[in-house]
Amino acid sequence: MKIEEFYYEIPKDLIAQRPAQKKSQSRLLVLDVVKNRILHKKFSDITEFFNEGDVLVLNDTQVQKARVVGNKITGGKVELLFFKNHALSNNYLALVKGKVGEWAKVLVGNLEIEIKKFKENFYVVNETDDIVESMMSEYGMIPLPPYIKRKPEKEDEERYQTIFGRKKGSIASPTASLHFQDDIVLKLKEKGVIFTFLTLHVGPGTFLPIKVSDVESHNMLPEYCEISEETANTINNAFRRGKNVLFCGTTVVRAIEWASKNGIVEPKKGYADIFIYPGYTFKIVRNMLTNFHLPGSTPLLLVCALAGKDRIFKAYNEAISLKYRFFSYGDAMLIWKR
């Protein structure tokens, strides 16, 4: 399977540069696999798809101000994107933008750190965690994706966070949850919908491009994940009672599939390196809420695995023709299979 099969053309003016003025007014494309149809709705209509006792599974991670800009001691601007991944190193790691050698000292404000080459794409920070965290706290910015062609603003500190985020650790937002606001949550709870949470701290594994031609050869970088016994039981009990469960976002889908065995979600914590692409057999997930994803990206491959590549590309083509807004600050898609 070639990664080129998952490329598509997206007009630049459809790449959302800012969030919708009101979250609930984002558009919602419904890919109804059961009835083989595409519906076009507002995100606030999501409540129509829930009944009493249904479950909504969300990621409670919170985005850190992980991007800092500094200068090498030897001169030259450098941008660092800090993240933590104990599966790779006990120290903070950094994705680096700028010309940096095997070793470098970087000055950010009045703080200095030393970084050294770790492996392809990554540097390891040769300092204690508290220094890095002080640097992020004092000088860090919300790490907006590179296709958003502007600097982060004060508004992004709120709008690039989901209302469910309570555990710091991500360097990108679980964007499917960005559409929820308090009034929608209240309506769902009034209908008797059960909310349950897991944690997956989004790291480079989610958003780094696939650089190999053969999809099967791609290695997914691990990301920290934690699923509690309460969350596992909530999902399993819903299925036993014949209720629908909606999994919100590709991070939630990956976490649940990583923690599932024999059709049962198990409590689990650790580093998930599961890579889902067409041909994968889902253990648990049927219905998911998601955004529109970048060409050739791991999230795009995941939704193609769930709904079928032809259906997804048909839906994307229709969304483009109707000028849906794409990517992190864009509109939403509901994949409905049961």
State the pLDDT at residue 94. 97
> How many CA atoms, within 13 angstroms, populate the side-chain half-sphere of residue 77?
3
Give 160-183 pLDDT, tens digit per residue. 999 999 999 999 999 999 999 999
For domain 3-63+156-336, the question of CATH label 3.40.1780.10 is answered with yes
Residue 24 has pLDDT above 90, yes or no: no
pTM (predicted TM-score): 0.96
Residues 197/179, Cβ–Cβ less than 8 Å: no
Query: What are the extents of the domains in the chain?
Result: 3-63+156-336, 67-140
SS3 223: strand
Nearest in space to 244 (alpha carbons), one of 299, 198, 192: 192
**pLDDT at position 338 over 80:** no
Q: What is the pLDDT of residues 48-97, one digit of tens each?
A: 999 999 999 999 999 999 999 999 988 899 999 999 999 999 999 999 99
Burial class (CB in 10 A: 0-12, 13-18, 19+), 155: exposed
Average pLDDT over every residue of 261-289: 97
Q: Both tokens of residue 205?
A: 């594994």
Q: Mean pLDDT across the stretch 146-154?
A: 95
Structure tokens given for 129:
């965690």
